[in-house]
Amino acid sequence: MDLHAESFLVMNDGQKIPVIGFGTYAPEECPKGLAEEATRVAIEVGYRHIDCAYIYGNEAEVGRAIRAKIADGTVRREDLFYTGKPGDDPFPMDENGQLIFHHSDLRDTWEAMERCKDAGLARSIGVSNFNRRQLELILNKPGLKYKPVCNQVECHIYLSQRKLLEFCRSHDIVLVGYSVLGSSRDNKWIDQHSPVVLEDKVLVAIAGKHNKSPAQVALRYFLQLGAVVLAKSFNPTRIKDNFQVFDFHLSPEDLKALESLNRNYRYVAARQWINHPEYPFHDEY
């Protein structure tokens, strides 16, 4: 696939998802206004895929930024792909939106998602943090009307998700990677002794060879594997830099070296839900 700034994947419902998205999650203590300004910058830079969620607590700010950039002529609404994730209460999406859910009573919730799509509240519906077994529960559900278009999961050089990626690909489900750059130490639930993705010596060496940053190489790696990636930053310079991943190519040797770094390590282990019957991370993938 020839990757460029306007590249997209066609999902199983025929809708197009841009291959790089802007992530808007921030820790609770982070001022909500930062999400608004960062989203404005991201759209100006060229991002056309915005990822948000009810639980992030900044949907209003992200929405204001989107409306502002439409109003000033930077983009049209139909140019933007917006992903939302509901909280306890369903909320409407417009026709250019995608709705995905994390965990719950899988089959009943999926039927509710299908009804949202039928009602025109979302153009596409998908899932997040699902393992293979949970995806199969949906795919094998009697009376299934719509397959998930995507599965959004943690994905980085220490958790390459290659088996899950191949399973998703075999069922025409797009794998969307979050935390591709690792996870910030600002998140209090992150182990402060965890490895730092962007300081990995192999990644840094490959970045130096291509005259790119470790973040750009980390993103490019998963793009070349065929995943969609989410890049998250509230720093304007890094927002721009993270989008500059379309002017170089990783060699087969580079890809092999990066694949060797996988250690199935999760930053987002969600251990508060470890005893939930649908906790997804007990399985291999």
Domain ranges of the chain: 15-277
Q: Among the CATH numbers 3.40.50.720, 3.40.50.10860, 3.20.20.100, 3.40.630.10, which is that of 15-277?
A: 3.20.20.100
Alpha helices in 157-228 (DSSP H): 162-170, 201-210, 214-225
Q: Is 54 tagged catalytic? A: no
What is residue 101's predicted lDDT score, i.e. its pLDDT? 60
pLDDT tens track for 165-189 = 999 999 999 999 999 999 765 666 6
pLDDT band at 92 (very low <50, low <70, confident <90, very high): very low
Tell me how far apart the alpha carbons of residues 221 and 213 are, in angstroms, rounded to a whole number. 12
Tell me how far apart the alpha carbons of residues 90 and 88 are, in angstroms, rounded to a whole number. 7
Residue with tokens 């010596």: 201
C-alpha 46: how far from chain center: 17
How many of the other CB atoms lie within 10 Å of CB of 258? 23
What is residue 171's predicted lDDT score, i.e. its pLDDT? 98
pLDDT tens track for 96-119 = 557 666 555 677 789 999 999 999
pLDDT tens track for 190-243 = 677 889 999 999 999 999 999 999 999 999 999 999 999 999 999 999 999 999
What is residue 89's predicted lDDT score, i.e. its pLDDT? 44
What is residue 32's predicted lDDT score, i.e. its pLDDT? 86
Q: Mean pLDDT, to the nearest integer, of 48-66? A: 95
Q: Is this prediction's pTM over 0.85?
A: yes
Q: Would you say 241 and 215 are in contact if contact means Cβ atoms under 8 Å apart?
A: yes
Burial tier of 108 (Cβ tally within 10 Å: 0-12, 13-18, 19+): exposed
List residues bridging with 115 in a β-sheet. none
Q: Which of 56, 158, 221, 267 is catalytic?
A: 56
Residues near 223 by Cβ (< 8 Å), separated by ≥ 6? Answer: 3, 19, 20, 229, 245
Q: Which amino acid would we find at residue 134?
A: Q
